[in-house]
A and B are shown apart, each in its own frame.
Chain A
Amino acid sequence: DAGVTQSPTHLIKTRGQHVTLRCSPISGHKSVSWYQQVLGQGPQFIFQYYEKEERGRGNFPDRFSARQFPNYSSELNVNALLLGDSALYLCASSWGPDIQYFGAGTRLSVL
């Protein structure tokens, strides 16, 4: 069975550009969460979606947005990229609200 899949695996952008990251949850999971992990730190919660509705939002600026599609896959969009947005972006899926299973992440580098 496929786990959580994220694409792309690596991405290089320049300041001011925008980026779209994609996530496919484990089959049967209806909830997707997004996290930002800066090197040397734990993941920071960005968004959670359940049944295509936003169920949680972390302390991130409005430049960050996300959505969930009818097939439960999700996109994370970041506009007007800053150097500080460079991080590993993790997607996690869950059937219920508790246990979350993570993908391998997308490594974003902003130059």
Chain B
Amino acid sequence: GQQLNQSPQSMFIQEGEDVSMNCTSSSIFNTWLWYKQDPGEGPVLLIALYKAGELTSNGRLTAQFGITRKDSFLNISASIPSDVGIYFCAGLINAGNNRKLIWGLGTSLAVNP
């Protein structure tokens, strides 16, 4: 199936460090979403981006919608152990009445206390 290019695939960091991950695509998206998924749970929405160039924060999380509308990044500042999980980017495609989310493969984050 169709997927976004998300990197890095995994990260292992020390508590307190900052984290950065990004997603790229050859397609243009109208909306970029960032989700976090814990084991055995469904994805939980972190940040939604609607306009090219938009920079949005949610606590220690900051995300930006690329100017070209083909990429986005997510930064986490001062990481804590509960940040552990898999982070997914998702781009929304609107094709008439057909709307669907295209997902990245995820970035697995491990935080060493």
Question: Which residues of A pack against B, CB within 8 Å?
Answer: 4, 33, 35, 40-45, 48, 55-59, 90, 92, 97-105, 107
Contacts and interface: CB of A to CB of B under 8 A. Distances in A.
Interface in B63-105: 88, 90, 92, 94, 97-105
A90 B42 contact: yes
Contacts, number: 71
A58 B42 contact: no
29 contacts: A35-B101, A40-B105, A41-B105, A42-B3, A42-B88, A42-B103, A43-B43, A43-B88, A43-B101, A45-B101, A48-B98, A48-B99, A48-B100, A55-B98, A56-B99, A56-B100, A57-B98, A98-B33, A98-B92, A99-B45, A99-B48, A100-B45, A102-B42, A103-B42, A104-B40, A104-B42, A105-B40, A105-B41, A105-B42
Contacts of A98: 31, 33, 48, 50, 92
